[in-house]
Amino acid sequence: MSSESKLSYSSDSELRGSILMRVTELNRDTAPDAVDAVFAGLSARSRYLRFHSPTPRLTASARRVLVDVDGERHAAVCAHIGGDPVGIARVIRTGECGAEIAVAVVDLWQRRGIGRRLLEELTTIAARMGVAELHGDVLPDNSGMLALVRKVLPGVRLTREADTIQLSYPLAWVTAEITDADLIESLQEI
């Protein structure tokens, strides 16, 4: 499959204040510019919250990982406003059924609904990839991300570890179809 065909998802939506945002799925051709632009738009604090350490610049190896999207093992969506990348959300398989998620929105556009939209789109892509459970690590003082996952992923499990809060979300809750037979069977078990 060519890299052009990997760009299979694109949608437009309006943010508060009638600003048009475009969300597209990244591929290996489009990811480098988007990664560089979003990283440049993050403050030192936002970079710390996203990468869990002071990150004044992306190392070559970290950048290689972030731009290596193939739509099967590693997928990412990017929000654009006026053609400029303003946020990226990614899902990376960590095993047969699980995948890690991460979201970053440039400081200028934080708390305007971009992270919510990116995470919603990401769950759709993760389901397409056959992912059964999403997980990730969030720093305890990243209240914005914790609020976002609680809002977008109802029932998300948050577990305090030594230095992080680990999130776990069974994606099957979002993608499962419940039939009448399922309901009848569950009632009979009671």
Could you report the per-residue pLDDT of 55-80, keeping only the tens digit for each?
A: 999 999 999 999 999 999 999 999 99
Do 34 and 22 form a contact (C-beta atoms < 8 A)? no
pLDDT band at 151 (very low <50, low <70, confident <90, very high): very high
- How would you class 164 by CB atoms within 10 Å of its CB: exposed for 0-12, middle for 13-18, buried for 19 or more? middle
Give the pLDDT confidence score for residue 4 in this predicted structure: 27
Is the model's pLDDT at 12 over the cut of 70? no
Residue 177 clears pLDDT 60, i.e. is over it = no
**Domains parsed from the chain with CATH numbers:** 3-188 (3.40.630.30)
In the structure, what pLDDT confidence band is assigned to residue 13 with cuts at 50, 70 and 90?
Answer: low
At 189 the pLDDT is 53
Give the pLDDT confidence score for residue 5 in this predicted structure: 25
CA nearest to 165, candidates 52, 55, 39: 52
Residue 10 has pLDDT above 60, yes or no: no
Percent of the chain with pLDDT strictly greater than 70 = 81
Q: Residue 182 pLDDT more than 60?
A: no
pTM: 0.81
Q: Tokens standing for 128?
A: 């397409």
Whether the pLDDT of residue 125 is over 70: the answer is yes
- Strands, DSSP E only, in the chain? 10-15, 19-25, 74-81, 84-93, 98-105, 133-138, 157-160, 165-170
Chain mean pLDDT for the chain: 86
